[in-house]
Amino acid sequence: MRVATLCGSLHSGSTNAVVLATISNHLKRAGAAVEPVDTSVDVPSFRPEAVDDPPEAVLAIRSVFENADGIVFAIPEYAGGAPGWVKNITDWMVGSGSLHGRPVGIVSAATAGGTNAIKQLSLTLTWQGAFVVATCGLAAPLTMVRDNLITDDAALSRIHQIGDTLAQVLRGDRDAATTSAAALTPLGIDPSDRLS
C-alpha cells in the first residue's frame, strides 16, 4: 500500500503540514509506505502545449502520483478556494492521467473549515478520474495544535478517519466508487460527473 501526500501550504508553521504528518504516521502504522510530493521546487504555470514534454519538476510530481496507490492532500483555503499553485499542479496531471483511478483523501485546516477549498479540489480531481473517498474540514485549526501535535481529540479522530477510509479502499475492504459517492454528494458534486 503506497500513499503519496501533498501539503498545499508553503507556510513554515503550517497547520496543514502538522495534519498531513498526523495522517502519514497513522497510515504508516497501518503498513503503508508514504511518499510526500516535493513542494520545495517551483512548478511553472501550466501550458497545454507542454503537456507531453513537461518540466522536470512536473515529471517528478507525476512519478510520485503514478507510483502511489492512493493520495492524501492537506490544503488551506485561500480567498475562498484551494491554493492556486495546487490547482496548477493538478492541471499538469490532466494530460498524463497521473491521478486517474486513484483513491484520494482531502483535509483542509482553515479558519472556517476549508469547505470551498475541499469542494474545488474534489471537483478537479473527480473530473480527472480520481476517487475522492474521504474529506475533512477543520475549523479554527490553530486551537488544535501545540508543539506540532494535534491536541484536540475530536479533530484527531476525524484526521485518523481520513487515513482509515483510504486504507480500507486500498485494501479492497470498501468499494472506491461507492465510498466516493458518499464523500462527494454532501459537497454537491455529482459522483458520475467524472472521467471514466
Q: What percent of the chain has pLDDT over 90?
A: 77
Enter the DSSP assignment of 112: T
- Domains of the chain are 2-187 (3.40.50.360)
pLDDT band at 148 (very low <50, low <70, confident <90, very high): confident
List the single range of 10-19, 22-31, 89-98 with lowest mean pLDDT.
Answer: 10-19
Write the pLDDT tens digit of every residue in 33-63: 999 999 888 999 999 999 999 999 999 999 9
Amino acid letter, 117: A
What is the per-residue pLDDT for 163?
96
Q: What is the DSSP letter of 57?
A: H
pLDDT at site 196:
56
pLDDT tens digit sequence for 74-94:
999 999 999 999 999 999 999
CB of 17 within 8 A of CB of 60? Answer: no
Q: What is the mean pLDDT of the chain?
A: 92
How many C-alpha atoms does 127 have within 13 Å on its Cβ side?
A: 13
* pLDDT at residue 195, as a whole number: 64
Residue type at position 88: N
pTM of this prediction exceeds 0.85: yes
pLDDT higher than threshold 80 for residue 194: no
